Amino acid sequence: MKLLAGNSNAPLARAISDYLEIPLTKASVRRFADEEIFVEIHENVRGEDVFLIQSTSYPANDNLMELLICIDALRRASAKRITAVMPYFGYARQDRKPGPRTPISAKLVANLITTAGANRVLSVDLHAGQIQGFFDIPTDNLFGAPVVSADIQARFGDQPITVVSPDVGGVVRARSLAKRLENAPLAIVDKRREKAGESEVMNIIGDVEGRFCILIDDIVDSAGTLCNAAAALKAQGARGVVAYVTHGVLSGGAAARVAASELTELVVTDSIYSGETDLPGTKIRRLTIAPLLAEAVRRIADESSVSSLFD
C-alpha cells in the first residue's frame, strides 16, 4: 500500500500516515509560471494499491485539477488500484437541478474522477447520499457521527441533550446522532431559504426549553443558518447551543458571524485545511477525523469490512 498526498490538506495526510505508520510517497506537485499543475512521483508505484488524499475544498478548481492530474500520473505509472480519498467532496451541493438550464456539477465531477482513472472513492459525510450513485466505481461514504458523538458524550454527557437538525433535509443525520446519544430527543428548525447563502428561521419543531441543544450539519459555509438557528433556540428557552459540523468551509465573514452569535461553540473536523491556526479563545474548535479515515484505508487495503466501523 502507498499513500500519496496532494496539497489541499497536508496536516490531515500526515496524521493518516502517522496512524498507519506508512510514510507518504515522495512526489512533487507544483505549478508552472502560468499556474499549470505538474505532478511527478519519485517512487515506484507499479502494481501498488495507492490511496491519494486530496480534498476539493477552496480553491476548489485548483484542488480538483490537482486530484485529476495525480490520478492520471498514477494510472500511467501502472498503479494496480487508485483510491481517491476525498475527506471533503467539493461541488456536492450541486447534486440536482434547482431550476431550468442549470448543471448537476456533482455528477460532472464524478465523471471526471472516474475518467481520470480512479478505481474507488472514499469520502466523509457526502452532502447527499445519492452522490454515491453518480459514480460507476465503488464509493465509500464514511460518517463523522462516531467522532462527534464521542466528543459530545465526553464534554456534555451530564447535560439534558436535545439533538437539533437545522433544516428538514438533515433529519436523518440528526436522528442517527440522537440514536448514538442514548436516544436523545430530536428537534427540527423549520427554515426558508430565499437564495443561496441566505436563510430565515421560521419555527422550532420540538421542545427545547431547558435543554442543551446540539445542532448537527454536514457543511457550514457562511454560518448564517446555524447562527439564526441558535438565536431561535435560545429564544425558545434552550440552556445552551453547540453546533457540530463535519466540513468547515467558513467562507467570508463566517468566523466573525459565529463569534457574535448565540452559539456557545462551533465544532468542525479537519476535513478542510484553512491554512490558519485556530486562535485560543475563539468559538471554533476542530476535531480530527484522521483515525477514522486511516482505519477505512486499512480495511479497504485488507479487503475487510468498512461498514463495521459504524456498528
pLDDT digits (tens, 9 = 90+) for 263-304: 999 999 999 997 766 656 689 999 999 999 999 999 999 999
Q: Quick one: residue 295, left, alpha or beta (phi over 0 = left, psi -120 to 50 = alpha)?
A: alpha
**What domains can be seen in the chain, in order of their start residue?**
2-142+291-310 (3.40.50.2020), 145-288 (3.40.50.2020)
Q: Alpha helix locations (H) across 94-170?
A: 105-116, 145-156
- Residues taking part in catalysis: 191
Helix axes 60-76, 105-116, angle to 10 degrees: 20
DSSP state of 164: E
Whether the CB-CB separation of 55 and 273 falls below 8 Å is answered with yes
Q: How far apart are CA 84 and CA 115, in angstroms?
A: 13
Residues at the annotated binding site for ATP?
34-36, 93-94
| Mean pLDDT along residues 244-273 | 93
Residue 19: its pLDDT value, please?
97
Q: Which residues contact 1 (CB under 8 A, 6 or more apart)?
A: 22, 48, 49, 50, 51, 297, 301
pTM for the full predicted model: 0.91
pLDDT digits (tens, 9 = 90+) for 31-58: 999 999 999 999 999 999 999 999 999 9
Mean pLDDT of the chain: 92
pLDDT digits (tens, 9 = 90+) for 78-95: 999 999 999 999 999 999
What percentage of the chain carries pLDDT values higher than 70?
A: 95
Residues at the annotated binding site?
34-36, 93-94, 127, 167, 193, 217, 221-225
| Mean pLDDT along residues 219-231 | 91
Residue 280: its pLDDT value, please?
60
DSSP state of 23: P
What percentage of the chain carries pLDDT values higher than 90?
A: 82
Residues at the annotated binding site for D-ribose 5-phosphate?
193, 217, 221-225
Residue 203: its pLDDT value, please?
86
A 10 A CB-CB count for 101 gives 5
Q: How far apart are CA 88 and CA 293, in angstroms?
A: 12
Q: What angle do CA 149, 122, 166 make, to 5 degrees?
A: 40
Say if residue 240's pLDDT is above 80: yes
Residue 277: its pLDDT value, please?
61
| Mean pLDDT along residues 162-170 | 90
A 10 A CB-CB count for 231 gives 15
DSSP state of 98: S
Residues at the annotated binding site for Mg(2+)?
127, 167
Inter-CA distances, 145 with 49, 86, 195, 281, Å? 28, 17, 29, 26
- pLDDT band for position 129 (cuts 50, 70, 90): confident
pLDDT digits (tens, 9 = 90+) for 169-218: 889 999 999 999 988 999 999 876 656 555 566 689 999 999 999 999 99
Say if residue 137's pLDDT is above 70: yes
Residue 169: its pLDDT value, please?
83
